[in-house]
């Protein structure tokens, strides 16, 4: 089967980091490319606890783009294994069911929670994170009966959704009810990321919320807050006019496009800004809940400077090293929360996986995902997919998908 494979080595990393500054095309086209179309064997079930899925649609994630352009932090490399077939946002049809799998049948339309925690790796007893209901933050990503890999798509042994077929452990699979499109099914994974971030830092109606970045995850954070019935004030900082217009449609009260975050913080929250002898301003008062979907040095430091005393900053974006001034952290008794993946939550008095909650919100019409899918391409046009995602504003792109339908 044809599949989209990622590979990098230390020498290739060093050369591409230098030459890539001249031409980004070298990252995905030519002899040094990190990503290429290959012939791969069709996967078999690793054990009777797994199912085989025929891919219908697979979304291209911002983390996939960062992977291609080598923007991910090398710190995560012990928990990945190369070469790997990427893709973790997908909908598909079950075509084979292991004999120990209950409640799933061939023909079921499903999506997957791609984390490869203890259960998928055959590890018992489970680690602390998995036993807490957060298998996406498993402590054993480099152990067990699978190669290292935090999730499907960055594990050598378990190929991702940019291939006609993949396998998934029974604990990863969630059936899609009738009425949910293939597009929405493939969007459940990014929705679950955003929804988990909101559940972990849940605003109330009196909070002043700021979302840094109005792309896919930023707009889904806004939609998640509104779908949960929280009528708080939401501001989004997003320089792209195209994305700013979309996030305003889905529930943001205010969208900041000019980058003057301090002046807007004063206007929206009533905070007072102060100018140090050197460096940027710092606000007293400000936003009480902030979701940073970018996660670089500038956005994290600015967020802390405009966040109110006792505020909580959820760092949702994946980035490399951040240079941090911790002064606002202790001066304003702030909390910084890491956000990665999803798990089980107590929701309306029941223990439920974030995917289950997300699917219900879509089924009930509280979150609309189809409008976010702007481009569908065949696998052979993966280079066009990368080019579209490298300049989303110019191409009018929100979510791009590879279609096998």
User: Distance from CA of residue 331 to its chain's centroid?
Assistant: 31
Alpha-carbon distance of 42 to 18, in angstroms, equals 36
* pLDDT of the residue at 318: 77
Length of the chain in terms of residues written: 405
Mark out the alpha helices in 81-204 (DSSP H runs).
128-131, 182-200
* Cβ count near 370 (within 10 Å): 13
Residue with tokens 């959704």: 161
Q: pLDDT tens digit string along 135-174?
A: 999 999 999 999 999 999 999 999 999 999 999 999 999 9
- Per-residue pLDDT for 319 more than 80? no
Mean pLDDT computed over every residue of the chain: 96
- Per-residue pLDDT for 229 more than 90? yes
Domain boundaries, the chain: 2-175+369-403, 194-338
Q: pLDDT tens digit string along 98-130?
A: 999 999 999 999 999 999 999 999 999 999 999
CB 160 within 8 A of CB 84: yes
Please compute the mean of the pLDDT values over residues 284-298 and round it to a whole number. 96
User: 98 by DSSP, 3-state: which?
Assistant: coil
Alpha-carbon distance of 375 to 370, in angstroms, equals 11
Confidence band of 238 (pLDDT split at 50, 70, 90): very high
Q: What one-character DSSP code corresponds to residue 90?
A: E
- Per-residue pLDDT for 300 more than 90? yes
Residue with tokens 């140090």: 276
Cα dist. 294→197, 225, 247, 305, 378 in Å? Answer: 14, 19, 16, 16, 29
Both tokens assigned to 378:
């065949």
* pLDDT of the residue at 73: 82
Fold annotation for 194-338 = Rossmann fold (3.40.50)
Alpha-carbon distance of 302 to 294, in angstroms, equals 12
* pLDDT of the residue at 132: 96
Alpha-carbon distance of 144 to 245, in angstroms, equals 46
Confidence band of 282 (pLDDT split at 50, 70, 90): very high
- Per-residue pLDDT for 94 more than 80? yes
Alpha-carbon distance of 221 to 113, in angstroms, equals 18
Please compute the mean of the pLDDT values over residues 162-187 and round it to a whole number. 98
Both tokens assigned to 294:
């970018």
Alpha-carbon distance of 198 to 312, in angstroms, equals 11
- Per-residue pLDDT for 320 more than 90? no
Please compute the mean of the pLDDT values over residues 196-214 and round it to a whole number. 97
Both tokens assigned to 75:
């710190």
Mark out the alpha helices in 145-252 (DSSP H runs).
182-200, 216-227, 241-249
**Residue in 53, 57, 60 with CA at minimum distance from that of residue 28:** 60
Question: Superfamily assignment of 2-175+369-403 in CATH?
Answer: Medium-chain alcohol dehydrogenases, catalytic domain (3.90.180.10)
């Amino acid at each position: 089967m044809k599949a989209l494979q990622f590979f990098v080595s230390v020498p290739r990393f060093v050369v591409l980091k230098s030459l890539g500054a001249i031409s980004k095309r070298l990252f995905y086209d030519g002899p040094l490319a990190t990503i290429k179309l290959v012939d791969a064997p069709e996967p078999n079930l690793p054990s009777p606890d797994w199912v085989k899925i025929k891919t219908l649609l697979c979304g291209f994630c911002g983390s996939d783009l960062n992977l291609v352009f080598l923007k991910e932090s090398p710190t995560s490399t012990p928990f990945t294994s190369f070469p790997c077939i990427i893709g973790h946002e997908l909908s598909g049809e079950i075509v084979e069911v292991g004999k120990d799998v209950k409640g799933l049948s061939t023909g079921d339309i499903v999506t997957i929670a791609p984390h490869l925690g203890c259960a998928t790796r055959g590890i018992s007893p489970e680690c602390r994170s998995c036993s807490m209901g957060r298998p996406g933050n498993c402590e054993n990503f480099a152990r067990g009966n699978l190669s290292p890999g935090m999730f499907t798509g960055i594990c050598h042994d378990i190929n991702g959704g940019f291939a006609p077929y993949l396998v998934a452990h029974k604990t990863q699979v969630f059936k899609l009810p009738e009425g949910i499109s293939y597009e929405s099914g493939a969007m459940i994974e990014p929705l679950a990321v955003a929804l988990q971030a909101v559940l972990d830092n849940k605003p109330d109606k009196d909070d002043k919320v700021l979302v840094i970045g109005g792309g896919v995850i930023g707009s889904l954070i806004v939609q998640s807050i509104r779908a949960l019935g929280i009528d708080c004030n939401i501001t989004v900082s997003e320089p792209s006019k195209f994305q700013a217009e979309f996030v305003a449609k889905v529930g943001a009260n205010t969208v900041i496009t000019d980058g003057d975050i301090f002046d807007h913080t004063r206007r929206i929250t009533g905070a007072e800004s102060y100018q140090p002898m050197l460096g940027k301003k710092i606000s007293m008062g400000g936003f009480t809940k902030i979701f940073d979907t970018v996660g670089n040095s500038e956005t994290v430091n600015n967020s802390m400077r405009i966040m109110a005393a006792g505020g909580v900053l959820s760092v949702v974006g994946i980035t490399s090293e951040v240079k941090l001034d911790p002064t606002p952290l202790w001066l304003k008794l702030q909390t910084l929360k890491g956000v990665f993946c999803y798990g089980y939550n107590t929701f309306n008095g029941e223990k439920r996986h974030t995917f289950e909650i997300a699917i219900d919100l879509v089924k009930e019409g509280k979150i609309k995902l189809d409008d976010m899918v702007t481009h569908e391409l065949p696998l052979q046009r993966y280079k066009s997919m990368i080019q579209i995602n490298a300049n989303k504003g110019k191409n009018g792109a929100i979510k791009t998908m590879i279609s096998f339908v």
